[in-house]
Amino acid sequence: MEEPLQTIHSFSREAGQAYIIDEGIPCANCRKTFMDFTVIVYLENCNHMVCKDCLTESINLQYPDSCCPMNDCDKKLYEAEIR
C-alpha cells in the first residue's frame, strides 16, 4: 500500500531537509516546533530558521551588533530582520 503524498511547506538549505506542513517547523535555536508559520523567521545570511522569541532575545542582548541567535553562528543580521 502506497503512502499518501504530503505537502511540503518549507525547505531548509542548511540541513537539507524538507519540513512537512503537518509536523510544523522547528526553531533551530530553542527546538520548539511551530504550526503557526508566521512566528518562524528565515535568516538569509546564514540560512537558519528561528522563532521570533529567540530572534528578539538575541537582538535585545546584542544590539546594535546583532548576530544569528545560534551559538555556533556569527553571521550578522540584516536590518530588515532586526525590525
Where residue 69 sits, what CATH number does that domain have? Answer: 3.30.40
Is 3 inside a domain boundary? no
Q: Domain range holding 17?
A: 8-82
In a domain, 2, yes or no: no
> DSSP 3-state assignment of 22?
helix
- Greatest C-alpha distance within the chain: 55
Contact 48, 76 (CB under 8 A): no
Q: Is residue 56 one of the residues assigned to a domain?
A: yes
Domain count, the chain: 1
Residue 47 domain-assigned (yes or no): yes
pLDDT of residue 22: 63
The reply to whether 24 falls in a domain is yes
pLDDT for the residue 57: 92
Contact between 19 and 8 under an 8 Å Cβ cutoff? The reply is: yes
Q: Which residue has cell 543580521?
A: 77
In this structure, is residue 1 part of a structural domain?
A: no
pLDDT (tens digit, 0 to 9) for every residue of the chain, 83 residues total?
554 444 444 444 445 555 445 678 899 889 998 888 788 999 888 989 999 999 999 899 888 888 899 888 888 888 888 77
- Separation between Cα atoms, residue 55 and residue 43, nearest integer Å: 10
